[in-house]
Each structure stands twice: as C-alpha cells, then as structure tokens.
Amino acid sequence: MAIPLKSVRGWCVGAIVAVGAISGCQSSPEQQIKAAFKAAFPENGRRVVVLYARSMASPTRPPRGPNDFSGPADEASLRRFIAAMPSEALAEMGIANAESPELFTSERDGQPFRIRYGIKGPLTTTYAVLCESKGVGGKVKVFKSDGSSVEVAADEVDKYMAGEHDVVYDPKSGL
C-alpha cells in the first residue's frame, strides 16, 4: 500500500515542528551554567562569604607567603571590593546592586549579619566568616568560608566568630 505524499509531508512538518519546539525549550549551555551558579547562592550569607573569600585572594593584594591571605578590614573595604566587581558577575550570583543594604542582611531573621573582618591565614583553612544576628528558634546560622553553613545554639555563636571552630587543612592527615 502506498502512503500518500500529503501524509508524508504532514508527518515531516509535524516532526520538524516538534523537534524545533523541544530544542527551543531547552536552555543554552551558558544559560544552564548561569542558572546553576545562581542556584548555588540562594541566600545573602553565602553570597557575602564568597565575596569575602574572593577579596582574601584578590590580585590587588597579592600575598607575601602561603599564610598571608587576609580578609577585608571592615564593611567599607568589603563593599568597595564588591562595587569594583563587574556587574555581570554580581548578577550571576543574584546580586542586583552592590550597594544594597539587603546584601548584608539575613533573610531568616531580617537583621544585619555579624561579620568577622580581618581574618588572616591560609585559604586552606575553613573559617566561620559571618553569622545571623539573632537567628530563628534559638538557632543561629553560621556561614563558613568553604560555602557551607551550620545552625548552632545561640550560646555557641561567639566561639565560631572567635575562630574556635576553624578547621585547618593538614595535607599529612588529609584534614
């Protein structure tokens, strides 16, 4: 039995339209990377920690040795560093405006972060960089330089912010 030409054309057109629609719905690899990057920074604490770590390793302040990395001295220094970054890089992290006070505010407790300025040491150490001011339900979220965060009892926060829970990488032990 012969298939009519109209049916073949109709089927081909339908297949082309379907393939076009499916491929048109997918993001480009660049869009997928940007979306994944933005998803990696879902909250202000994580964004500020990453920017803090970038300032520690900034080529504008090259280290004089392997343990000579230092964090910004104060909020003004960190804000200047952030303001000097390309707006595209900030937008990829979900930051609309480097001057925005919301960037330095916790979404959970609505208060400004407590930030540990002037951290000095190797980038291989995991530092507690910032924490919420009040927290929620008796738990305060502490953000670390490795991108992780932990909720701790309010009476433990000062120990984190004093560096008592910093973890130094030791290549001999693997920790």
How many angstroms separate the CA atoms of 28 and 63, rounded? 38
Where residue 175 falls among pLDDT bands split at 50, 70, 90?
A: low
Say yes or no to pLDDT of 110 above 60: yes
- pLDDT at residue 75, rounded to an integer: 93
Identify the pLDDT of residue 111: 97
Residue of higher predicted confidence among 170 and 175:
170
- Residue 21 pLDDT class (50, 70, 90 cuts): very low
Q: Say which residues have a Cβ less than 8 Å from residue 61's Cβ, sequence separation at least 6.
A: 70
What is the chain's mean pLDDT, rounded?
80
Say yes or no to pLDDT of 169 above 50: yes
pLDDT of residue 125: 87
This prediction has a pTM of 0.74
